[in-house]
Amino acid sequence: MDETPPEHLKSAGLKSTLPRLKILDLFKSGSERHMSAEEVYKQLLAVGENVGLATVYRVLTQFQQAGLLVRHNFEGGKSVFELNEGTHHDHIVCLQCGHVEEFYDSAIESRQKKVAAELGFEIHDHSLQIYANCTKTKCPNKR
Partner DNA sequence: ATGCAAATGAGAACGATTACCATTCGCATG
Partner DNA sequence: CATGCGAATGGTAATCGTTCTCATTTGCAT
**Residues at the contact surface with Mn ion, assessed by CB under 5 A:** 82, 102
Question: Which of positions 89-108 make contact with Zn ion (CB under 5 A)?
Answer: 90
CB 42 within 8 A of CB 26: no
Least CB distance to DNA at residue 117 (A): 31
Least CB distance to DNA at residue 78 (A): 4
Q: Which of 78, 87, 86, 69 is nearest to 25 (CA)?
A: 69
Residue placing its CB nearer to Mn ion in the complex, 70 or 139: 70
Least CB distance to DNA at residue 57 (A): 4
82's contact among DNA, Zn ion, Mn ion, none, with CB below 5 to 8 A by partner kind, is Mn ion
CA–CA dist 72, 69 (Å, integer): 10
Least CB distance to Mn ion at residue 91 (A): 6
Rounded to the nearest 10°, the torsion over CA 66, 69, 71, 72 is 150
Rg from Cα positions in the chain: 17
Residue placing its CB nearer to Mn ion in the complex, 22 or 91: 91
CA–CA dist 35, 83 (Å, integer): 10
With contacts defined by CB under 5 A, name the span among 14-22, 28-36, 51-59, 84-92 that binds Zn ion.
84-92
CB 94 within 8 A of CB 141: no
CB 49 within 8 A of CB 32: no
Q: Which residues bind DNA (CB under 7 A)?
A: 6, 10, 14-20, 36-38, 50-55, 57-59, 61, 77-79
Q: Which residues bind Zn ion (CB under 5 A)?
A: 90
